[in-house]
Amino acid sequence: MEETFPLLFAAVIGFGHAFEADHILAVSTLVSKSKSNQQVLSNGFIWGLGHTSTIFIMGLLFLIFQVHVLKEYFDFLEIFVGIMLILLGVYRLWASYKREAKAVTHSHDREAYGIGLVHGLAGSGGLILLVMADLESKWEMIAYLSLFGIGSALGMAVAAILLRLPILKGSFFEQRKRIFVWIASILCVGYGVHILLRFI
């Protein structure tokens, strides 16, 4: 019973994992581009799938090759997350300034998936080490990673739609949308710089 206990909460933990600050900030840069709630949900869910893909692949590497890597190496990969957040924020500020965001009509699923992949790199180490410490069965580890990924994808879809609430159609829509983009982009750049400063 003790061995299966982590599996019972894998999806719940994954759901909560989606609401971490760097995840929210990254997805916020996609929310203002989307033209419908369906696109927002799709972007959030696809981000979660990208995140899950990286975690699952790295988990399989641990299982197949019995690779043992210090958690510090995975923490170091957060540098890529910091750089990505800065680039996302700067690009969104530039696009808003150029008013290019208004012309966007597609769902940005590829971009969302790529962002999720990078985030999976940074967050995979601690998760995999935790699972390996608590679960002896390889099938249990695969089940944990899968359930965690499903919860993460669903959590990010919910987070994305919640982020859209301030910029739903209504009075002063364009003004609210522009303010949202600028605040989200500046916070994105700021948090990315914060991550990089931890490694200086």
Note the pLDDT tens digit of each residue in 44-90.
Answer: 899 889 888 888 887 777 777 766 655 666 677 788 888 999 998 89
How confident is residue 191, by pLDDT bands cut at 50, 70 and 90? very high
Contact present, 148 and 11 (Cβ < 8 Å)? yes
DSSP state of 18: T
pLDDT greater than 70 at residue 109: yes
pLDDT for residue 189: 93
pTM: 0.79
Which secondary structure element, helix H or strand E, spans residue 127, and what is its range?
helix 109-134
Contact present, 192 and 86 (Cβ < 8 Å)? yes
- What's the pLDDT tens digit per position in 139-171? 877 888 888 888 889 998 998 888 887 776 666
pLDDT for residue 5: 56
